[in-house]
Each structure stands twice: as C-alpha cells, then as structure tokens.
Amino acid sequence: MIPPPHGGRLVERRLSDSDRTRRESELAVLPTIAPALDQLYDLEKIGIGAYSPLEGFMDAATLTTVVETGRLPNGLPWSLPILLPLRRPEDRATAEGLRPGEEVALVDHHRALRGILHFEERVPFDPVTVARSAFGTIDPSHPNVADLLAGGNLALAGKVDIVAPRATAHGVAELSPRESRDLFRSRGWKDVAAYQCRNPPHTAHEYLQRTTLEREDVDGLFIHPVVGRLKTGDYRPEVIMRAYEALVRAYCANDRVVLSPLTISMRYAGPKAALFLAIVRKNYGCSRYIVGRDQAGVGKFYDPYACHRIFDEFDVGILPLRYEEAFYCRACQSTATAKTCPHPASNRVDTSQTRIRQALKNGGEIPPELLRPEVAEILRQPDVLLKEGDQ
C-alpha cells in the first residue's frame, strides 16, 4: 500500500500568495540570508514534504541525535543532517542579531524570495564531527566533505515556509510528494518501487527496473533521478532527463512507469545516503526502494554492500529491494548478476560510465547490450556535460 509519510503526516509549508506578496514587499527591511544552492534545494524539499517530518532546518538537539544515533529526537530513523550553514560573512553578521521567533527572508543569488525561516536558534557545529558521522570520513577528497569543511561552523535552525516550488528546467514536471501520491492513487497503484539514479540509463539499470516490475508486489515504478547540483564533467540534468524520457518512451510499459526529477544535491554518503534517499521516496508514496551495488557511493569510500546492510539496522518503513551489480554477459546473452550468471567475468561487457563516455567521445559504437541506441543518440550530442561555472 501507499505508505504514510515518514513520521505519519505529510509536511506542507507554503506561503499563501498574499503572505508571499507581503514578504516580498518587506524584503528591504527583513533580515536576509542567501543560502547556497544545496540549501535552496533542501528548503524547497522541506516545504513540499519530501523531507517529512522535518518542518525546517535542524536545531542543535536534532543535529546531535542524528549525528550520534542516526535518529531524530523522537526516535524516528534519520540518517543525514539537514542544516542551513552560513557561508557568507554578511549572513553570519545578520545571524548575530536574530532573536528567536524572528522571520528571516531566504533568497537566491538573484535576491528573489525563496522562503521564510522562522528563526529558532543558532547552531554552532563541528564540521569534522558532522562529516565523520554523515560520510564516515573527513577526507577532503570526498566532495561532500570538502563542501562541509568549506561551509563554516554555524547554521541557523527554524521552521520554514516556501514560495511555490520553481518550475524546473529539465523538460519534465517535478512532482511534489502530494502530486506523486495522487498520481499513484489515480492509477490504482498500491505498491510503487522507487528507482534512485543520477546518471543516464544503461541496460544494467534497466535490468533492475524490469526485474522489479515483474514482481507481483509492485504495481508501478517511480524513476526519480537526482538532478540537483552535480559535478563539473557530469551529464547535465536536462540530458539525464532526456535520456530517461527516451528510454521510457521506447522501452517501458508506460502505464506502469512514472518519471520525475528530484532536484536536490547528491549526497555521496553511501549507506547513510541510501537510507536518506529511501525515506525521501517513502514521502513521495513509494513502498519499495531499489538498492543496487554501492548506491550513493563515491570513489572507494564505502563497502559496496554497506548500502544494503544499513536497511537491516534501521527500519524506515519502505521495503528495500537489494540487488547485486548487473552486467551484460555474452555467454548468458542477457544482463544478469552474480546471482544468475555462472560464467567467468571475462564474458562480461564492461558497463562502466567511464568506458561508455570514452566511446561516446571518440564517436565509437556503443553496443546495444550496454546502452539503448535512443539513449546513446542523446548522449552523443554536443555540450551534454556540465562545464565549470555552469551551476
């Protein structure tokens, strides 16, 4: 069945049109903070309930239990901090004068109002402690750790209200948890499996999706690519979405698949990110969550199957569907995993992103066992990768 949101209630905190207009007219006099892009994404996700039961950025007590126990103060599992760190000196200066209960305007880099913070407290924190808990490392070659260490040691806590979510520029509507839940219900789906991804689809990804769709306890598949802030050299968010649209159009049983982007910055926290991303998908109405090998990993920071085991430690109310690494085997003549393929690894077609990107770059042929031609066609276009300064 469609599970209740994490904590039982879908958080929805949006300013009404009149409240928004009033705050916009008061912008000159309201204390103003300009969060980084990552935090603007989080702000929006809190407001639409993607992070239910969070109603705002975490206070010190919450940060402590999350860091120390992987749970919110009420015991509910929650694996990653959701903080509003102050990176800019002027924001830290603004913060000094805030009194509890005061309203703070949260603006983007065009100084457009994105939401209101109902200031509760300043949250001094140790980035090293937070990094060690969330990412299991303080190595600054880890991209999120580098961000965290560069982001200062002071955050603001408080509930937020957001202005209506922005339309995304990815060509596909970004559903809110309320919208995805309504859509699943209107299709008569009870059990929906979420597919987490952050790259264009290979046949190995499609294999996990199809294998999941064959389950009798799965009515539909929610393909939900994370397309928030990515790294230079990654595929552009709109390219990832176009590639998925091409896949869904040509190869998916359309009445059983919903595609929508999830605009948040990617947390490469391995197991803790897998758990976090599963909780988020529960909020979108999914009761099943596909976990492949080394989900949300980066480099060699995580045991590739730690992201499987963490679901034994924390019951987050969504059934994990844990899969081993998929590959195309020439002897099987199909995609398989070590659970189904008995042949030596020499039969496997290398499905690494690196190799495929190289072939695409050199104009080489991509075997259809690796990449659907419709997807390859999109990835061959010029200017599909993010360049320095694009975001």
| 187: contact with a copy of itself by CB under 8 A | no
Residue closer to a copy of itself, measured from CB, 54 or 336 = 336
| 115: contact with a copy of itself by CB under 8 A | no
| 196: contact with a copy of itself by CB under 8 A | no
| 330: contact with a copy of itself by CB under 8 A | no
| 251: contact with a copy of itself by CB under 8 A | yes
Q: Quick one: three-class SS letters along the chain?
A: CCCCCCCCCCCCCECCHHHHHHHHHCCCCCCEECCCHHHHHHHHHHHHCCCCCCCEECCHHHHHHHHHHCECCCCCECCCCCCCECCCHHHHHHHHCCCCCCEEEEECCCCCEEEEEEEEEEEECCHHHHHHHHHCCCCCCCHHHHHHHHCCCEEEEEEEEECCCCCCCCCCCCCCHHHHHHHHHHCCCCCEEEEEECCCCCHHHHHHHHHHHCCCCCCEEEEEEECCCCCCCCECHHHHHHHHHHHHHHHCCHHHEEECCECCCCCCCCHHHHHHHHHHHHHCCCCEEEECCCCCCCCCCCCCCHHHHHHHHCCCCCEEEECCCCEEECCCCEEECCCCCCCCHHHEECCCHHHHHHHHHCCCCCCCCCCCHHHHHHHCCCCCECCCCCC
Binds a copy of itself by CB under 8 A, chosen from 40, 46, 252, 376 = 252
Q: How far is the CB of 197 from a copy of itself (least distance, A)?
A: 18
Residue closer to a copy of itself, measured from CB, 214 or 383 = 214
| 211: contact with a copy of itself by CB under 8 A | yes
Binds a copy of itself by CB under 8 A, chosen from 21, 340, 353, 381 = 340
Residues 342-381, one symbol each (x = binds a copy of itself by CB under 8 A, - = not), give: x-------------------------x-------------
Please identify, among the stretches 109-117, 294-302, 333-341, 352-360, the one whose residues bind a copy of itself according to the rule CB under 8 A: 333-341
| 338: contact with a copy of itself by CB under 8 A | yes
**Count residues contacting a copy of itself (CB under 8 A)?**
28
Residue closer to a copy of itself, measured from CB, 52 or 335 = 335
List contacts with a copy of itself (CB under 8 A): 210-211, 213-216, 251-254, 256, 320-323, 331-342, 368
